[in-house]
Structure 1
Amino acid sequence: MMMEKNQPAGNHSPENCDSSPLRSWLAVGAVTIGAFAFVTTEFLPVGLLPQIARDLGVMPGTAGLMVTIPGVIAAISAPGMMLGAGRINRRHIFLVLSVLLLASNLISAFASSFALMLLGRAILGASLGGFWTLALAAAARLVRPHDAARATAMILAGVTCATVIGVPLGTFIAGLASWRMSFMVTGALVAVALAAQALLVPSLPSSAALRVADLVALLRRAHPRRSLLMVALIFGAHFSSYTYIAPFLLQNASFSVSSITWLLLGFGLVGFVSNFAFSAIVTRSLRASLVTVVSLLMCALLAMPLLRHSEPAVMVMVLVWGVAFGAIPLCLSVWMQLAAPDLPEAGSALFVAIIQVAIAVGSLVGGTVVDQVGIPADFWFGSALALLGLAAVACFGATVKTSANAKLTGHVRPE
């Protein structure tokens, strides 16, 4: 996907022609390990917040800045870092961002004050936005055109794995040793990802730098602008509600703590399977796939408060939600690739930035609804956002009936 400006979208990157299929997929695997490490680091404090707050002498609410600050900075760094990167070989940027992630984990592990901890988290945010911009843009560049959707799905699977395995594992390690050891182990994982990228990711030269004019040009186009609004609505629908899924299950649906743990594990596992299942479907019918998963998300959010007195029904709705969100990042990522085929880095940068904004604003507004009205109302608010997301999808018209290769390598739009 990371084609250069004014280069036809169908041109295949030189590195793909020179690499064997095995080597290409090993490169995608190296980026996937990096994705796993980034997301694990990003959400690691969620499970460790009470211990960190106690040891560094801050209130739990203040300690929440460890999650907020990286998200805000990532929203800025997604376009900002790529603007500053110029024509630097994208492989070198991958390696630099992984080094920054390693530094973030080490600073956090040895932080003697909360200010130093926030410095480490700020470094994470700076590298996070740049990494996701590059990773999503490089997916199709590392493999053959017809494998682009599967490569994107594989990289996004690193996110699901981090949610299912990484964050709980960090909490488990903290229980055995300390929260500092959790950051150190995550740092070791980053070192593995760095070594894998150094060995396996090929040269990714860039003949044209991303410019502010590219971002402005993209935002002036109605199709990408409406696509970004759709992304914001759908991600906002998820995160305005998902942030409070555990309190809902505990307080409103009367689940035990152990049951919630297993149910959320199931949420992640079905999402993992959904991500790969839709990687095949999305290449045949992107719009139908997106309508399906957003509809599932909307129905789950709408039904859960109504069914809260039936434990089996709530469990089913949580798993349906997992299926939906497992495929949503993939569908929207491919959609943005098609919305900006001639400006892939600009499209990827704005895509990552709008997701971070949606996460921050969605969680903030959702929290206000929870405090003022209650968790069920927040879920209905999320379902309303999902409905608006569906309306945004409907504005794009009928599905393009083309082959996956034509869609991912040509200038075909997804409407």
Structure 2
Amino acid sequence: MQIDTPANPISLETGSTSVRQWLAVIAVAVSAFAFVTAEFLPVGLLPQIAQDLGVSTGVAGLMVTTPGVMAAIFAPTLIVSAGRMDRRYVFLLLTAVLLIANIVCAVSTSMPVMLIGRALLGAALGGFWTLATAAAPRLVQAKDAARATATILTGVTCATVIGVPLGTFIASFASWRLSFAATAGLVAVALVAQALLVPSLPSASALRIADFKTLLRRPHTRMSMLMVALVFGAHFSTYTYIAPLLEQDFSLSTITLLLFGFGLIGFFSNALMSMAVSNHLKKSVAVMVLLLLGALSSMLLLEHSTIGETAGMLLWGIAFGALPLCFSVWIQRGTADLPEAGSAMFVSIIQVAIAAGSAVGGAIVDRAGVHADFTLGLGLAVLGLVTLQRLAAMERPATNASFKQTCDASLD
């Protein structure tokens, strides 16, 4: 059982990172952009796809649930089952599967066929995210490792800012099928770029299944994963069905602009939070969860107010633009001794939250309406905030014990 490590001869050199090495990083970043665009493309197209395929909005939400389930399964298992396979070939294989998935979605004429395509996407997605951040330090010199990781994650932010709204825009003047076809074209570009630019990335060290068990025995890790699941569940149980809510008061073109604004303000939120999160992690998480609560509340209380809903979307963008970064740093610190296992668990729990949140949200939308769904999201966000408070309480005794040991040592 093998995983990637930063211990790559390229990274141990002391020279400057070459242009070709940066191009390899950009190739992976383009793939990240394509994966995230494809994953969340249905969010802005849900009503059109549901109508065209003859299903309810809640059933159409399975397009978000299905890849989440598959990604949750494949995130921890792929890194174990890939063995000593060169990670370059794993990247190429996963991107090829993504290309096929988008083609299947574009030509699908029924919901079962659409879900087959979405399942393929999820399988590729789980593996990609487990490997992508581990590969970043191996593509450049050691001093540029953090920059390379940030560049790859920028692909995610750009997908939120450009990819998903662009898919909605294409559907506004053509069809949702063309949106999937355009995404397939983007994936083809990423595949060619990877084939030409990404170097060999042989596997180096072993990951044991026991490492996952070790993390799960720790109360702090379990509570941290629960917090992530609750907050991501709050987001995706509601965000998945944002189009049906907004279409009551906005045209499709205006919804596209709102989604663009959501992503754009999230981009700046992510950039600004990167400068504060290291020194103020707990406060950063708390503030962003509170902003998410405020956004969901405004979407409920100010329903049918175009100004109120617009403000809510922008507030929501600020919150969710920074939350993935905050949680990523939180999990990295909590699993510093077993970073690869922690990363795989983090990816899995996010995908479980996406799948469960969109599935439960869809059932509620079909039976009780979007308003009830947003009430669920509010409740989950509140529980996430309570879990954060409990985590902070768990850390205080350890901090006090450390302080007491320091004092005792100074008295000896």
Asked if residue 323 in structure 1 is aligned to residue 327 in structure 2, the reply is no
1:281 partner SS? coil
Q: 2:16 aligns with which of 11, 14, 20?
A: 20
2:124 partner SS? helix
State the partner residue of 1:271: 266
State the partner residue of 1:298: 293
Q: 2:215 aligns with which of 202, 218, 230?
A: 218
Contact 2:47 2:243 (8 Å CA) reproduced: no
State the partner residue of 1:187: 184
State the partner residue of 1:344: 339
1:396 partner SS? helix
State the partner residue of 2:97: 100
1:127 Cα shift? 0.7
The amino acid of 2:392's aligned partner reads: G
Asked if residue 208 in structure 1 is aligned to residue 201 in structure 2, the reply is no
Contact 1:15 1:204 (8 Å CA) reproduced: no
Change (3 A) 1:107 1:238: closer
1:272 Cα shift? 1.4
Change (3 A) 1:153 1:276: farther
Q: State the superposition RMSD in angstroms.
A: 3.3
Contact 2:235 2:377 (8 Å CA) reproduced: yes
In structure 1, C-alpha distance between the alignment counterparts of 2:230 and 2:110, rounded to whole Å:
37
In structure 2, C-alpha distance between the alignment counterparts of 1:185 and 1:322, rounded to whole Å:
25
Contact 1:156 1:330 (8 Å CA) reproduced: no
Q: Aligned ranges for residues 82-231 of structure 1 at < 5 Å?
A: 82-110=79-107, 116-140=113-137, 142=139, 151-174=148-171, 179-231=176-228
- Greater mean deviation of Cα atoms: 40-49 or 232-241: 40-49
In structure 1, C-alpha distance between the alignment counterparts of 2:241 and 2:41, rounded to whole Å:
17
Contact 2:269 2:322 (8 Å CA) reproduced: yes
In structure 2, C-alpha distance between the alignment counterparts of 1:21 and 1:73, rounded to whole Å:
36
In structure 2, C-alpha distance between the alignment counterparts of 1:377 and 1:43, rounded to whole Å:
22
Q: Aligned ranges for residues 375-394 of structure 1 at < 5 Å?
A: 375-394=370-389
Under a length normalisation based on structure 1, what TM-score does the superposition of the two structures give? 0.80
The amino acid of 1:59's aligned partner reads: V
Contact 1:49 1:60 (8 Å CA) reproduced: no
1:231 Cα shift? 0.8
What is the total number of aligned residue pairs between the two structures? 390
Percent pairwise identity: 60
Change (3 A) 1:174 1:298: closer
Residues 37-89 of structure 1: per-residue CA shift (max 9 Å, x gap): 1122223345556776777x653565554443222211111112112112333
Residues 156-180 of structure 1: per-residue CA shift (max 9 Å, x gap): 3323332332234334445666555
In structure 1, C-alpha distance between the alignment counterparts of 2:217 and 2:272, rounded to whole Å:
34
2:85 partner SS? coil
Contact 1:3 1:13 (8 Å CA) reproduced: no
1:392 Cα shift? 2.3
Mark the runs of 5 or more structure 1 residues left unpaired by the alignment. Answer: 5-10, 401-415
Contact 1:149 1:334 (8 Å CA) reproduced: no
Contact 2:65 2:354 (8 Å CA) reproduced: no
The amino acid of 2:67's aligned partner reads: P
2:274 partner SS? helix
Contact 1:369 1:375 (8 Å CA) reproduced: yes
Q: 1:241 aligns with which of 215, 238, 242?
A: 238
Contact 2:65 2:358 (8 Å CA) reproduced: no
Q: 2:353 aligns with which of 344, 351, 358?
A: 358
The amino acid of 1:194's aligned partner reads: L
Residues 172-193 of structure 1: per-residue CA shift (max 9 Å, x gap): 4456665554434322211221
Change (3 A) 1:386 1:152: farther
In structure 2, C-alpha distance between the alignment counterparts of 1:147 and 1:96, rounded to whole Å:
27
In structure 1, C-alpha distance between the alignment counterparts of 2:43 and 2:304, rounded to whole Å:
28
1:277 Cα shift? 1.9
The amino acid of 1:364's aligned partner reads: A
Under a length normalisation based on structure 2, what TM-score does the superposition of the two structures give? 0.81
Change (3 A) 1:92 1:176: same
1:373 Cα shift? 5.0
Q: Aligned ranges for residues 17-96 of structure 1 at < 5 Å?
A: 17-18=12-13, 20-21=16-17, 23=19, 25-47=22-44, 59=55, 64-96=61-93
Q: 1:260 aligns with which of 255, 258, 278?
A: 255
In structure 1, C-alpha distance between the alignment counterparts of 2:91 and 2:304, rounded to whole Å:
48
State the partner residue of 1:406: none
Change (3 A) 1:103 1:372: closer
1:343 Cα shift? 2.5
Contact 1:3 1:344 (8 Å CA) reproduced: no
1:381 Cα shift? 3.0
1:260 Cα shift? 3.2
The amino acid of 2:219's aligned partner reads: A
Change (3 A) 1:125 1:367: closer
State the partner residue of 1:411: none
Change (3 A) 1:89 1:389: same
The amino acid of 2:127's aligned partner reads: G
